[in-house]
């Protein structure tokens, strides 16, 4: 016992100060790919190598509509490698959690040259929603009630609906001394009857659909649902097929989406705190 106490004292505090202080990130970490749409000469090479279809385009005569969906993106970096014009670069940005799926989609419109390359950027659409004004999905009264009841403490039930377990490894890390999620009054529980939030990973497999619904229905209200990772948001690399329904929001109403493959522990923490109103949504921007 004495040796354990001695080790603890000599080690000191190892818990990260995030979100009150910025995160120190390894130079090897791959975060959100950033697109210089003005400089981008051709979206076809990036679209060819994208494993999940996060980059797609549609040509109509001499015009092209390019869509970038961060909800499908697995941050593999292949799009940056395929873009010879260096208009696509990999950043270290990870704070992408959002309450609205539309915020993860960017659309660019181009006029084309005869060889199919981009001549000129005609328009760039970032249809960011305004969470304060968007009462379509969650009424303002309900949102205020959730923040009041769950803002200072939170019980989470995690459900693996069909993931590869990559997200689970990052979720487990939230309980270690480095991230120590319990310092926020947040803890994981075994029973959905004790839970305020349902944290769902993976695409929803058809075998897990009923179990996921039963878990959700067993939770007391008000209850929150967070979709974790590219698979939870869109189906990710697995997509929708004979064995998988794809995105969590095809089965349950989702309050917050956390992109990544898998999202790092700080990204998970950002999304969880965002869901209970203890953190504001970070708005990324595209810069040349």
pLDDT tens per residue, range 124-162: 987 655 544 444 444 455 556 566 666 668 999 999 999
Tell me which of 126, 153, 173 is where a domain ends. Answer: 126
Q: How far apart are CA 80 and CA 88, in angstroms?
A: 5
- How many domains does one find in the chain? 2
Q: Are 260 and 160 in the same domain? A: yes
CA distance linking residue 280 with residue 144, whole number of Å: 14
Residue 10 is assigned to a structural domain of this protein: no
Residues 155 and 270 in one domain: yes
Q: Which one of 126, 158, 188 terminates a domain?
A: 126
Select from 63, 244, 249, 241 the least CA-distant residue to 164: 244
φ, ψ for residue 146, nearest 5 deg: -60, -45
Residues in the chain: 288
**Assigned domain for 27 exists:** no
Contact 101, 286 (CB under 8 A): no
Q: Is residue 121 located within the same domain as residue 180? A: no
* Dist. CA 201–CA 233, nearest whole Å: 9
Residue 70 and residue 168 in one domain = no
The three-state secondary structure class of 63 is strand
Distance CA(199)–CA(188), nearest Å, equals: 10
Same domain, 100 and 148: no
Same domain, 120 and 148: no
| CATH, residue 202 | 3.40.50.12280
Domain ends where: 92, 126, 160? Answer: 126
Query: Can you give the residue range of the structural domain that contains 56?
Result: 33-126
Other CB atoms within 10 A of residue 128 CB: 16
Digits of tens for pLDDT over the chain (288 positions)?
A: 777 777 767 767 778 889 888 888 888 999 999 999 999 999 999 999 999 999 999 999 999 999 999 999 999 999 999 999 999 999 999 999 999 999 999 999 999 999 999 999 999 987 655 544 444 444 455 556 566 666 668 999 999 999 999 999 999 999 999 999 999 899 999 999 999 999 999 999 999 999 999 999 999 988 999 999 999 999 999 999 999 999 999 999 999 999 999 999 999 999 999 988 877 777 766 654
How many other CB atoms are found less than 10 A from the CB of residue 250? 14
pTM passes above 0.85 = yes
Residue 121 sits in the same domain as residue 145: no
The answer to whether residues 81 and 115 belong to one domain is yes
> Do residues 156 and 200 touch, judged by C-beta distance below 8 A?
no
């Amino acid at each position: 016992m004495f040796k354990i106490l001695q080790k603890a004292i000599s080690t000191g505090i190892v818990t990260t100060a995030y979100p009150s202080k910025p995160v120190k990130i390894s130079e090897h970490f791959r975060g959100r790919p950033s697109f210089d749409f003005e400089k981008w000469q051709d979206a076809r090479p990036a679209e060819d190598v994208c494993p999940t279809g996060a980059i797609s385009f549609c040509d109509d005569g001499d015009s092209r509509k390019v869509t970038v969906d961060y909800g499908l993106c697995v941050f593999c970096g292949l799009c940056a490698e395929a873009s010879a014009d260096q208009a696509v670069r990999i950043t270290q940005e990870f704070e992408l959690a959002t309450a609205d799926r539309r915020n993860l989609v960017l659309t660019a419109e181009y006029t084309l040259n005869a060889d199919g390359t981009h001549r000129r950027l005609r328009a760039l659409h970032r249809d960011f929603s305004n969470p304060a004004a968007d009462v379509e999905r969650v009424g303002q009264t309900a949102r205020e009630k959730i923040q009041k009841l769950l803002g200072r403490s939170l019980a989470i039930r995690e459900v693996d609906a069909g993931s590869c377990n990559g997200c689970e490894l990052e979720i487990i890390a939230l309980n270690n001394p480095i991230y120590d999620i319990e310092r926020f009054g947040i803890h994981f529980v075994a029973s959905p009857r004790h839970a305020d939030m349902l944290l769902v990973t993976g695409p929803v497999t058809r075998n897990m659909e009923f179990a996921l619904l039963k878990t959700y229905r067993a939770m007391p209200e008000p209850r929150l649902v967070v979709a974790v990772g590219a698979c939870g948001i869109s189906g990710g690399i697995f997509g929708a097929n004979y064995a998988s329904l794809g995105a969590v929001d095809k089965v349950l109403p989702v309050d917050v989406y956390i992109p990544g493959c898998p999202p790092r522990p700080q990204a998970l923490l950002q999304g969880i705190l965002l869901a209970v109103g203890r953190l504001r949504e970070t708005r990324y921007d595209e810069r040349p």
